[in-house]
Chain A
Amino acid sequence: MRIIGHPDQEVETNLRGAGIGLTVSEARSIADILGRDPTLPELFNYDTMWSEHCSYKSSRATLQEFLHTTGPNVVQGPEEDAGIVAIDDTWCVVIAHESHNHPSQILPNEGAATGIGGIVRDVNCMGAKVVATADPLRFGDPNGPDANHVRWVAEGVVDGIWQYGNALGVPVMAGDVVFDDSFDTNCLVNVVAIGVVKRDEIIKSKAPPGAGEKGYDVILIGKPTDSSGFGGVTFASEALRAEDEDANRGAIQIPDPFLKNDLFKANQDLFEMTRSEGITIGFKDLGGGGFTCASSEMGASAGYGMDLDLDLVHRAGDLPPEVIGCAETQERFLLICPPEMTPRALKIYNEDWDLPNVYESARASVVGKMTTNGRYITRHKGRETCNVPIEHLTGGIRYQREEKPRKMHHMEPAIEVPQDLSQVLLRVLASPNTSSREHVYRYYDTEVQGNSVIRPGEADAGLIAPVRGERFGIALSVDSNPFYGRISPYWAGATAVAEAMRNVASIGAVPWTMTDCLNFGNPEKPEAFWEFREAVRGLSDAAKALWLKGHQDAPVPIVSGNVSFYNESPKGTVDPSPVIACVGLIDDVGDAVTMNLKEPGNNIFLIGPRFDELGGSDYYRTVCGATGANVPKVRFDQERKMIHTTIDSIAWGFVVSAHDISNGGLGATAAEMALTGKADLGMVLALDRAGSSRLGTDRLIFSESSGFLLECRAGAEEDLAGLMKERGLDLMRLGAVKDAPELVMTRKDKKVVCLDLEAARKAWTGGLVEAMR
């Protein structure tokens, strides 16, 4: 393409005409480095590698400034496809977190399915067995002006997740669904995957030592390359516009769980062969940026070059070189191995697991060699189509974006305490965001692999025992509240961390590592970039203050994550959504507790007093449709003490049920404990001690200030009280479990809530069905 010596306007026209997103100055800088005009395939390669999605060009500086990615348990931070932390001396947990927002808005089913497909590859390619996923989902207002479309997107996304995840055979152990009108034209589909691997069996996603000198083979494995997903990362790095919808559709990938299932089993055989023979390989999945991204990153991270023949790439039809390089065809991996291993590797895929017969034209093919010259070279039909310095291609560029606080005018609504608080609690329980998630999680196979110990709906976090014969368990939870983000991105970041940690602590697991998926608007707009920085600052402060239990001042490490910008359309930007996934560790799954009430007569305690913090609450939304201003804050010292002490009180057997307080406040939390499981036990709670005597009763019931409700084992009350006192926490006895199906709350000896559990169950389980009908 002509760049050198041509005016900006002409270059701009040529770039846009070719469908390349690079700016004119970016294109000129490439021509400068090459000392000539770049070829079209070269420009596409740069466009891909320098996209926001692949290069993190707007976010990297902020992430490096704030995030804590190291720690005593970290085996591998965010430098490869997935992060890794140690469980014990032998086992590690592998975790990755991605977004698939734009594609899911356009084609919900395929978009969401591809999200799972991509994230499980990221975990698998580290040599790990993928053992669980989680799906944090954000949809628009199901009763708003775009209701029909919102419901269509929501249904399609859930279908895509179950159709892919169930067929692949990975259980969904956590997730959440939040409806908020800022997502009317921009849904968020985040997905988390975790795996387990032995520490000495981790496979690196870069070329192994000696690969260049010994001319290792580069082998492409999986589905035949087609044009699907061409331009995918560029599409993900722009705002959505309705008029582009048809063009964007072509940028969405087509996933195939069936082929993936077969590939995973073949990968397992490959890993076992290399381990038993002591061969070091490089192995990486092809995700955003396709073949170009995976190959160049594998070469560059080891300091080598590569010489690749695109004619050897198995593909569906005749494709131009830039499409072979940059299409995002799903279900592919790249292997770098010594040539003497190549025939056996090909046999595993092409004969043992019979890829060509399982899926038309799928196979493993040798496509090139590693070199030592530091050049990224591709050839097509006898011509050299790309020859660039590999580190320049993968190095990307950095932008220091401007930030400016968003002007906001949030006010507290004026509400009188409602007369019938039982009725209000019923409405909150039936609201789209507080109601039971059962309607959705029953679509997910939460049992496959047979490792499930605590499933969605039984507690605040899911729990699996992923290694047979071992007693340890891995807990998983996700959180982020967009309504808090609307008021304060900083507190949205901090509360997301705190709540995700509280969730795993509620079953007795220790928050052990986290991932972040940061969903924001256009970073070229200073307000959106400010929101991003504030949220990262908030989550980073929380990760540090709520340190790793047993390692004072060592932040809970964030070992993997993703940044998704440009979540906006002409109708506006999404509420700031820093989504956190927290992995918890429990030494013995036998010690974990669920949230359902266990025994009539057991005492119910509260830790975490109620404050006037109803900004962004479900109560405000339900009674007056307002957002409010007093967003819940994280009182860092108190929060850490609550989380760590709850874990200890479960481990030592004092607490038999626990549930953290979030959406819908104390009222919804208590109701959920009664409604989970058999739902034949109720509670009587006196609210007088739950917070300041000046707080209105509605505020005591619905404030979303952080805290826990704990059901104490009979006879352990003094032990529990002693422990809390020693840790400087105020343990408030609210009442007891009652052998009757009703939830009663009193204040100053007057009944303020009396809820029949049968009616409550109807409201609570029906809310989400109604929102997604």
Chain B
Amino acid sequence: MKVAVIQFPGSNCEHETLVAARSAGLEGEIFRWNRPAEELCDFDGYMIPGGFSYQDRLRAGAIASKEPVMETLKEEAGEGKPVLGICNGFQILVESGMLPGLDGVDAALAQNVMVTKGEIVRRGFYCAWTTLRHDAVAGRCSGSYLIEKGSLIDMPMAHAEGNLVTADENLIEKLNEENQVVFRYCDTGGETGNEFPVNVNGSVENIAGICNPEGNVLGMMPHPERSSFAWQLPFVDPAARRQIDTPGPGRLIFESMRRYIEVSR
């Protein structure tokens, strides 16, 4: 099982994403954007890592989404192969129309707007550990295939534009109806209060990650690769930190993709 971590100019999380994928038992390599796109077909799954592809020119993810390699990726995803977009990777998937994957490009990831008690307290870039609630059922989505509904998973977010907004208000309803909302920001008890810092970036209904209707393409703002080893967690018990290979909660995302590849082959 071999995955391609697709690297655009400006990507900056490709190495740790590959390390996390390997820790989950996947093989893989970094795939530079200007390689012949058809070589992408040789892989069983795909990851688009975080970063600032093409400097966020125009809009985050906008330029990368037009690269030839993305056309091939769409075709491969159409075959049912799994795709995971993290942070800027999520932004690229939304810009390309692969997410939410309903007719036309209907959503965007806008600037973070943090609201407490009805007041804007902050905007823009924010980096913090968050708790995510998994709102899809196990098996629904390639990147959370092994995760039970309602499970809580800790991982950090670090972005300036992760605020999911839609022009069409009905879209969110539709996403809910189609069970496309995979992750929501919540507190440590699993409650999805709508105010900062629980809703860390102002996203509609605390949405942190969504999948396409088929479930094989997942985009999420927080970073599972930064939470794939126990020693990466803040305030972790030193005993856990000493075991260098003890998995962190984020590894479930990569193990899920592996399982998805196994069962879909």
Contact = CB atoms under 8 A, between A and B. Distances in A.
Contacts of A468: 19
B34 interface: yes
A444 B13 CA distance: 15
- In the A-B complex, the 5 residue pairs with the smallest Cβ-Cβ separation, listed nearest first, are A169-B12, A590-B242, A450-B16, A258-B55, A167-B52
A443 B51 CA distance: 15
A342 interface: no
A588 interface: yes
A590 B246 CA distance: 12
Contacts of B51: 167, 169, 261
Interface in A565-618: 588-594, 596
Given A258-B9, A453-B232, A596-B235, 12 more contacts: A257-B55, A443-B126, A443-B127, A446-B127, A446-B158, A447-B223, A448-B13, A448-B50, A448-B226, A449-B15, A450-B225, A471-B244
A416 to B, nearest CB: 38
A358 B158 contact: no
A591 B238 contact: yes
Contacts of A191: none
Interface of A: 162, 166-169, 256-258, 261-262, 352, 354, 358, 441-455, 458, 465, 468-469, 471, 588-594, 596, 677-678
A262 to B, nearest CB: 5
Interface in B198-242: 223, 225-226, 228, 231-232, 234-235, 238-239, 241-242
A442 B127 contact: yes
B158 A445 contact: yes
Contact of A450 (B9, B55, B232, B238): B232
A596 B244 CA distance: 23
A48 to B, nearest CB: 30
A354 B67 CA distance: 14
Contacts of B127: 441-447
A447 B239 CA distance: 21
Contacts of B225: 450
A532 B34 CA distance: 52
B52 A442 contact: no
Nearest to B51: A169
11 contacts: A257-B52, A257-B55, A258-B9, A445-B127, A448-B226, A450-B20, A450-B228, A450-B232, A458-B235, A589-B241, A592-B238
Most chain A beta-carbon neighbours within 10 Å: one of B156, B223, B239, B241: B241
B13 A169 contact: yes
B243 to A, nearest CB: 8
Contacts of B9: 258, 261-262, 354, 358
A299 B232 CA distance: 44
Contacts of B19: 450, 468
B112 to A, nearest CB: 11
Given A169-B51, A448-B158, A594 B235 contact: yes
Contact of A590 (B50, B126, B238): B238
B10 interface: yes
Given A167-B52, A169-B51, A448-B158, A443 B125 contact: yes
A458 B16 CA distance: 23
Main secondary structure on A side of the interface with B? loop
Contact of A354 (B11, B15, B34, B128): B34
Interface string B1-44: 00000000111110110011000000000001010000000000
A448 B156 CA distance: 10
A67 B108 CA distance: 55
A258 B126 contact: no
A590 B158 contact: no
A618 to B, nearest CB: 26
Contacts of A452: 226, 232
B241 A168 contact: no
Given A445-B127, A447-B223, A465-B231, A258 B244 contact: no
A593 B232 contact: no
Contacts of B52: 166-167, 257-258, 261
Interface of B: 9-13, 15-16, 19-20, 32, 34, 50-52, 54-56, 124-128, 156, 158, 223, 225-226, 228, 231-232, 234-235, 238-239, 241-244
Contact of B12 (A162, A352, A448, A596): A448
Contact of B158 (A166, A258, A678): A166
A166 B9 CA distance: 15
Contacts of A358: 9
Contact of A442 (B12, B54, B126, B238): B126
Most chain B beta-carbon neighbours within 10 Å: one of A257, A447, A471, A594: A447
B164 to A, nearest CB: 20
Nearest to B17: A450
A408 to B, nearest CB: 42
Contacts of B239: 590
Contact of B234 (A441, A458, A471): A458
Contacts of A258: 9-10, 52, 54-55
Nearest to A656: B238
A47 B15 CA distance: 43
A262 B8 CA distance: 9
B215 to A, nearest CB: 27
Most chain A beta-carbon neighbours within 10 Å: one of B32, B126, B244: B244
Given A261-B10, A677-B235, A453 B241 contact: yes
A258 B156 CA distance: 23
B52 to A, nearest CB: 4
A262 B51 CA distance: 12
Contacts of B11: 261
Contacts of B243: 590
A451 B34 CA distance: 28
A595 to B, nearest CB: 10
A593 B238 CA distance: 8
Contacts of B231: 453, 465, 589-590
B200 to A, nearest CB: 10
A248 B234 CA distance: 44
Contacts of A262: 9-10
Contacts of A465: 231
Nearest to B229: A450
Nearest to A593: B238
B56 to A, nearest CB: 8
A443 B114 CA distance: 13
Most chain B beta-carbon neighbours within 10 Å: one of A445, A446, A450, A468: A450
A724 to B, nearest CB: 22
Contacts of B242: 588, 590-591
A469 B12 CA distance: 20
Given A448-B13, A468-B19, A442 B241 contact: no
A454 B231 CA distance: 10
A590 B231 CA distance: 8
A551 B238 CA distance: 28
